[in-house]
Structure 1
């Protein structure tokens, strides 16, 4: 089968012809039709994070396709089913996190395209218990980004505990943020969007944001507080220290600052104000299978739609180069 393979860190991926995966009794084999490209894939291929993937590696954790082979122990999935293989490739199923509905915190989890081979290939083996079915009427290309970007932003908004009518500030209107705005609107929230440039302004306002602020020209904290009296929650998808601090400073008393992006710097936390104002600062990492089903349902009902540019797997190194330069709007999906 054809696959994009990382053989060494910080080098280009090679399109190789390798053996099709053989499945175990608990697995299924998925014929991949499309796979989203996430910044995490770039980090994996560069070995940027403390826990590094084992090479050679096939990246990709937004792979969607058709089931073509089912393991002998699998009873709930059949050939022909349309499924996606998310970042949470598998978990142990019996630790305190798995048993309490927080499986994305499982210390024994495997991650698609990181600790196990992912979806940058014609075929991918998957743990049958952790794939999620693609709703009828939703095509593979539109579905792919939801298996990471979609569920990540949807879960962050759930974590924020903002209620219909509450104000939420979304920092960064990119591949994650443009979905966060849409999920927030679909959930009945009022949105302030923060990014820079007229293109992002037009995008955010077209998606339903009530206000857009440019971090290069506006006084973000003062302006948001004057317009909203402080937001009930903020979701920071940006990767800058300044953005993270601003996302904290705009939250009203008793609100939540939800951190999603992974900046290289640390963010100092003002302990006195945090305690005095009863502000919660929380991290949110992807989502569970249930979260993913819910986020897909919003899209299937036409409430949310990722902005997608479709390319071919052979374009992956050019895609990574554009990603490093910050030249991608929305999400890239490779067809396979």
Structure 2
């Protein structure tokens, strides 16, 4: 079967390879991959700015249909539509594994980076990692369950966004837009979303089609003035930082209400940044760092999707064959695409 393999550093370290279609273990199922997405972290990997263990089949956003089951599998059958959590390789005995947070396991090998992922035709995984896709959710939408779970983890599981909050989401990439939609879906009174001039080509026009209360191009409008107008000069209750941009991160505190909450999700291009520490102390604010997702977050994501509260199809700008993955990277780099969904051709 065909797969996208990252086998060494550099742009020439990627290729489509024929790999063995393995037989699922006794406790595993084999999933026929029906849709898979390109994530921003895979774009980092394309530039060798993400850890990985070569050679590895890339891809951690995917979904599909069960086509084979191991002899010990009892809860799933051929034809079930599923997504899989990405914690395929963890120790199972550390504090984090035993308290339902295997994504923080020190021995975890991320799917698509340290163990083979879903940019291929078939994927085997243990049955305990599977979650059913609601009948009214398409495979294209289900391929975005993982990024939606990042938002439900940050906002619901971490209990950062409450009914009636005014929420500022910084950044209008896929994660920013999904966080804006999730905030509205769970009862935020008002959601403000930011972008820049470069986002006017693709991202902000899409954002304006969604149920977001205020869209702000920070290079054309005064964000602080708008925030104060929208909040009776109190500042926002919550800031979801999904941009990873230095100016956005540095300027957060002055936009925040006293006792407000900063939710840090976005990765930055460098390991350290300046931050107005004293200002944050005087605001008596809370800073919540959120990474990945627990099972609860995956289930919450699919519940919201099944209820039709997230307009994920609006985010999909391109569908391409798996063999054209480089085109997907190019489109994303040029900001000509928002969400690229790929399909393997050798079904």
TM-score by length of 1: 0.91
Quote the residue 1:335 is aligned against: 343
Q: Which residues of structure 2 form unaligned runs of 5+? A: none
Quote the residue 2:250 is aligned against: 245
What is the rounded CA distance, in whole Å, between the counterparts of 1:219 and 1:45 in structure 2? 35
Matched, 1:29 2:30: yes
Shift of 1:241: 0.8
Quote the residue 2:21 is aligned against: 20
Q: 1:130 to 1:45 in 2, by over 3 A?
A: farther
Shift of 1:45: 4.2
1:218 alignment partner, one of 218, 221, 240: 221
Quote the residue 1:234 is aligned against: 239
Q: Which residues of structure 1 form unaligned runs of 5+? A: none
Quote the residue 2:150 is aligned against: 152
Shift of 1:260: 1.1
Asked if structure 1 preserves the Cα contact closer than 8 Å seen for 2:62 and 2:142, the reply is no
Stretch moving more, 15-24 or 296-305: 15-24
What is the rounded CA distance, in whole Å, between the counterparts of 1:211 and 1:140 in structure 2? 30
What is the rounded CA distance, in whole Å, between the counterparts of 1:153 and 1:26 in structure 2? 30
Where 1:137 maps in the other structure, the secondary structure is coil
Asked if structure 2 preserves the Cα contact closer than 8 Å seen for 1:58 and 1:120, the reply is yes
What is the rounded CA distance, in whole Å, between the counterparts of 1:160 and 1:274 in structure 2? 20
Q: 1:286 to 1:76 in 2, by over 3 A?
A: same
Quote the residue 2:298 is aligned against: 292
Quote the residue 2:207 is aligned against: 204
Q: What is the RMSD computed on CA atoms of the aligned residues? A: 2.0
- Following TM superposition, the consecutive aligned residue runs of length 4 or more in structure 1 with deviations greater than 6 angstroms are none
Q: How many residues align?
A: 332
What is the rounded CA distance, in whole Å, between the counterparts of 1:273 and 1:132 in structure 2? 43
Q: 1:43 to 1:200 in 2, by over 3 A?
A: closer
TM-score by length of 2: 0.89
User: Superposed, which structure 2 residues align to 1:81-160 within 5 Å?
Assistant: 81-147=80-146, 149-158=147-156, 159=158
What is the rounded CA distance, in whole Å, between the counterparts of 1:219 and 1:86 in structure 2? 41
Where 1:68 maps in the other structure, the secondary structure is strand
